[in-house]
Structure 1
Amino acid sequence: MQIDQYRDALLLLMVSIAAVNDLATRRIPNRLLFAGMSGALFLHLLSPEPGAALLSAVGGMLLGLVIFLPFYLVRGMAAGDVKMMAVIGFFTGPAEAFQIAVFTWCAGGVMALLLILLRSRLRLALVNIGHLLSGLIVPGTKLADMTLPQSAGSMPYGLAIAAGTIVVLVTQYG
C-alpha cells in the first residue's frame, strides 16, 4: 500500500468518527482532529517528497480554513466544523480540499433543506435568509446587527463534511 492510500484510509476513519460523534453529541473533538493531523503529518513526512507534501498540506489547511471561516463568523457553522475542514485540507492539499468543500456544501444544502422541511420551518428559514441578505445589502450594517431573531434549527455539519470527503475519495479510487 502506498503512502497516499494510508493517508486516505486515515482520513476516511477520521471523518467517519467525527460524523458519528457530531450526530451523537453535536461536537467534533479537538483530540480527534489533532490525532488526525498528527497522523497526516507523519505520513507526509514518509512520502517520497516530504517538502512538497508538507507545502501542499499547509496550503490545503489554509484553504480549508479560509473557505469555511466566513460561515463561522456569521454564526452559520460551529468552530469544530471549520477546524475539521482545515485538518482535511492538511490531509489532501488545496485542490482536493476545494473539491471536498464543494461536495460538502451540496450535501449540507440537501441536509438543511430536508431538516427544514421535516421540522416545518420553511417560512422561518426564508425570513432568516431575507434578514441576512438585507444586512449584506444595506451599507454600514455590522455583523452584530445581523443577529437572527430565531434559528430555524441546527444540524450536525460534520456529517456533510464527511459525505463530501467520502465522495471525493470514492471518485479517486473508482
Structure 2
Amino acid sequence: MPTEQYLNAVLLLLVSIAAVNDLATRRIPNRLLLTGLSVALVLHLLSAEPGTALLRAFSGLGLGLAVFLPFYLLRGMAAGDVKMMAVVGAFTGAALAFEIAVLTWCAGGVMALVLVVARGRLRQTIGNIGRMLLGLVTLGHGAIVPAQDKSAGTMPYGVAIAIGTVAVLARHYG
C-alpha cells in the first residue's frame, strides 16, 4: 500500500475522532492533533521521496494555519480549529488543504446559519459580525471597536473541517 493511502486513511480517522470529540465537548484535544501531525510527518518521511514529501507537508501545514488564523484573531474561531486545519494541511499538502478549507468554509457557513436561526440569535450574530468587520477595517487606525455583547453560541467547527476533508478526499480518490 503506497504511503498516500496510509496518509488518507489516518487523516480520515483523525478528522472523524476530532469531529466526534468537538461535538461532545466543543474541544479538539492537542494530544490528538500532535499525534496526527507526528504520524503525518513519519509517513511523509517513509515515502519514496521524503524531502519532497516533507516540503509538501510543511507547505500544507503553513497554508492550513494561514487560512484559518485570521478568523481566530478576530474571535470567530477557536484555536483548536486552526490547529486542526494546519494538521489536515500537513497530511494533504497546500493544494488540497486549500480545497478543504474552501469546502470547510461552505459547510461551516451552512452549519452556522442553521444554528443561529434555530437558536433565535440571527440579529445578535449580525451585530457581532458587523463589529468583527469594523475591527478588521479600522485595524491600525486608532479606532475603538465596541466589544461584542456576547457570543451567539459555539459551533463544533471540527465537524465542518471533517466534512470538507471527506468531500475533497472522496472527490480526488473516490
- TM category, shorter: over 0.9
1:85-124 to structure 2, matched below 5 A, reads 85-124=85-124
The aligned amino acid for 1:166 is: V
Cα distance in structure 2, aligned partners of 1:133 and 1:79: 20
The aligned amino acid for 2:143 is: T
Any runs of at least 4 consecutive aligned residues in structure 1 with deviations exceeding 6 A, and if so which?
none
| Per-residue Cα deviation, 1:5-27 (whole angstroms, up to 9, x for no partner) | 11000000000000000000111
| Per-residue Cα deviation, 1:21-62 (whole angstroms, up to 9, x for no partner) | 000011101111111111111110111100000001001101
User: In structure 1, what is the equivalent of residue 22 of structure 2?
Assistant: 22
1:146 Cα deviation from its structure 2 partner: 4.9
User: In structure 2, what is the equivalent of residue 141 of structure 1?
Assistant: 143
TM-score by length of 1: 0.94
State whether residues 101 and 161 of structure 2, in contact with CA within 8 Å, keep that contact through their aligned partners in structure 1.
yes
State whether residues 74 and 132 of structure 2, in contact with CA within 8 Å, keep that contact through their aligned partners in structure 1.
no
Cα distance in structure 2, aligned partners of 1:70 and 1:156: 18
Cα distance in structure 1, aligned partners of 2:115 and 2:32: 27
1:2 matched to 2:15? The reply is no
1:141 Cα deviation from its structure 2 partner: 2.8
Please report the RMSD computed on the Cα atoms of aligned residues, expressed in angstroms: 1.3
Aligned length: 172
- For the residue of structure 1 that corresponds to 2:77, the secondary structure is coil
1:127 Cα deviation from its structure 2 partner: 1.7
Stretches of structure 1 lacking an aligned partner (at least 5 in a row):
none
1:52 matched to 2:52? The reply is yes
Stretches of structure 2 lacking an aligned partner (at least 5 in a row):
none
1:40 matched to 2:50? The reply is no
User: In structure 2, what is the equivalent of residue 11 of structure 1?
Assistant: 11
The percentage of aligned residue pairs carrying the same residue is 66
